[in-house]
Amino acid sequence: MPKKKQPLSLERLSLAAVGQFVAHIGRIMISPGSPISHEMPTQRPEYLQNTFQWLNELLYSSVPRSLFDKMATHILTSVSELIKETKDSYSQDQPMWLFLNKMNIVVKLTEVAVNYHLREMNISVWPKIMRHVLYQTLEKMTGLETLNLGSGSGGWKTSDFEKTVIQGITAMKNLVSLCLCFDCTDHIISIVANNCSRLRILDVTSSRSVTDRSIPSLLNCQDLRQLLLYRTSVSIEGYAELLVGLKNLRDLGRCDEFGTILEHLRFSSTYSHPLGLHIFQSRDVTTYHLNLLIEMCPCVRHVSIYHDERISDLTVLAALNDLRELKLMSCDFYTDHVKLLLEVKGQNLTWLHLEHVEEIDLNALIYISQFCPNLKKLVFYNCDFLEHTSVSMKTLSVKPFQYLEYIMCVVDCALVHLEFLLSNCFNIKYIQLGSSTGIGDDTMAKVLSVNPMQKLEELKILYSDNLSMHTVNLLMNHCDNLRVLSELESWQGISPAELQQFREHLKNSNTDLDVRPTLSY
């Protein structure tokens, strides 16, 4: 039986109350009896600004500095809810200017969360109407170490957005991580490089305005560990300069030109020693490129590649001594020697992702379980599972999947495949099954009779014709650590009335189990 909900700590209750307090102030300001709500924003802007400034100072002087980031999150959450509440209260009977005035007040409440002592800010998670306020107040968050600006304007107003960003980040001397997709420019990178000497992570994915002119600036950021330049305008030569010049670089993100870059660099006078990269992601490589990878990047731990006819033999990857994580796309398990690669290198793997991989039968699953005994994460996505097969290994020398904690299986497969996977992963914590697995009550009963999944924390089955409350009851009886059981709405064996009754039972029994849907139907 899943555990009971425990009382929230005084810290969490207090922080939640702070957010509610800010929202309450906002409701008072837009109430019918409030004069400010009936005035145009241009009439008394200083009053509004002074009120928010007073509230900001009150909160940040009353809470320990170590809780500032958590408090800001609670404030922004409450403001987001108040914005939605105000928007939903719109009536055609009230003047439009009055509604817009109320919206202006509650949106500006976002400023209450802004403070120069904040260490982290992820602007991308908040509604767009709030992001604008946060962008405009970046200059007040000078203490940030981690800043995620999301996609900015999506590339539509890069020149306008550039001024806002530069004005904000110029004084952020402590910045360690910056994410700005679509709207980053060479000028922004120049400002970041000159002002943020501690920068270790930079993500400017899909920013076409980032060109080779940024290379000298980026080379000044010698502490960079992760640099994501996918879909920018940086050239092959620019990438090569960065790989040679940034000695601490470990992750260049997805780079489909990676093979060509290595080929260019191999015969360049600037290359003299192996590169320190740990992660390799590309969808356009050949066997020759993989051999260059092994020679020039011997410390690679994560490989993600798309297989095509230009890769004659995947076993070449076995020469990577530190390989721990492997993602293969568009290949055949036997024909393309995936089996042989796992037999040679599987002992080291902790993460295996097979996507659009064909020729997977029960034998293939058995081989994976034997060759990769230390797997913690296993993903099958849109693979071709063969239903009819003769099992060639009667006695298993290694207990299958004894360390597996995460499994994702989004495939059209036979029940025998699922039974083998789920019956042997005794330490599993997370399971996600797609809508085509065909799993039902009988299969779950067989699996749980062998493997009670006592460490299971989250189960997500996107759709099933044959799952009912019988499986839910089995999970409740066996899985003591279950915390999330989602997508029950798509289990066709559960009626809306049964689901509502189950939710009421969880509420009345104070059971700590989240059954809210995570998908939109």
Q: Give a yes or no: residue 107 inside a domain.
A: yes
Q: How many domains does the chain have?
A: 1
DSSP 8-state assignment for residue 395:
S
The structure tokens 């062998």 sit at 450
Q: Give a yes or no: residue 306 inside a domain.
A: no
Q: Return the pLDDT at 392.
A: 58
DSSP run (H or E) holding 9 = none
- 226-228 and 430-433 beta bridge pairing: unpaired
Residue 454 · residue 475 · CB < 8 Å? no
For residue 267, how many other CB atoms are within 10 A of its CB? 7
Point out which residues pair with 179 in neighbouring strands. Answer: 148, 203
Q: Return the pLDDT at 32.
A: 80
**What three-state secondary structure class fits 510?**
coil
Q: Give a yes or no: residue 263 inside a domain.
A: no
**What three-state secondary structure class fits 459?**
strand
DSSP 358-371: E-B-HHHHHHHHHH
Q: Which domain holds residue 94?
A: 8-114
Q: Return the pLDDT at 509.
A: 95
Q: Return the pLDDT at 342.
A: 97
Residue 120 · residue 149 · CB < 8 Å? no
DSSP run (H or E) holding 186 = helix 186-195
Q: Give a yes or no: residue 290 inside a domain.
A: no
Q: What is the pLDDT along the chain (521 residues), one digit of tens a residue?
A: 899 999 989 999 999 999 999 999 999 998 887 777 666 555 556 878 888 999 999 999 999 999 999 999 999 999 999 999 999 988 888 888 888 889 999 999 999 999 999 999 999 999 999 999 999 999 999 999 999 999 887 878 888 889 999 999 999 999 999 999 999 999 999 999 999 999 999 999 999 999 999 999 999 999 999 999 999 999 999 999 999 999 999 999 999 999 999 999 988 888 888 999 999 999 999 999 999 999 999 999 999 999 999 998 899 999 999 999 999 999 999 999 999 999 999 999 999 999 999 999 999 999 999 999 999 999 999 998 887 666 655 578 899 999 999 999 999 888 899 999 999 999 999 999 998 888 999 999 999 999 999 999 999 999 999 999 999 999 999 999 999 999 999 999 999 999 999 999 999 999 999 999 986 43
Phi then psi for 167, rounded to 5 degrees? -60, -35
Q: Which two tokens stand for residue 176?
A: 């360690």
Nearest-angstrom CA–CA distance, 444 and 464: 12
For residue 410, how many other CB atoms are within 10 A of its CB? 18
Nearest-angstrom CA–CA distance, 52 and 65: 19
Q: Give a yes or no: residue 71 inside a domain.
A: yes
Q: Which two tokens stand for residue 311?
A: 């890769």
Selection from 20, 29, 77 nearest residue 49 by Cα: 29
Selection from 217, 181, 222 nearest residue 199 by Cα: 222
Nearest-angstrom CA–CA distance, 182 and 158: 8
DSSP 190-227: HHHHHH-TT--EEE-TT-TT--GGGHHHHHT-TT--EE
Q: Give a yes or no: residue 505 inside a domain.
A: no
Q: Give a yes or no: residue 73 inside a domain.
A: yes
Q: Return the pLDDT at 388.
A: 65
Phi then psi for 42, rounded to 5 degrees? -80, -10
Q: Which two tokens stand for residue 36?
A: 């400010």
Residue 468 · residue 494 · CB < 8 Å? yes
Question: Whole-model pTM?
Answer: 0.91
Q: Which two tokens stand for residue 502?
A: 């189950």
Q: Give a yes or no: residue 472 inside a domain.
A: no
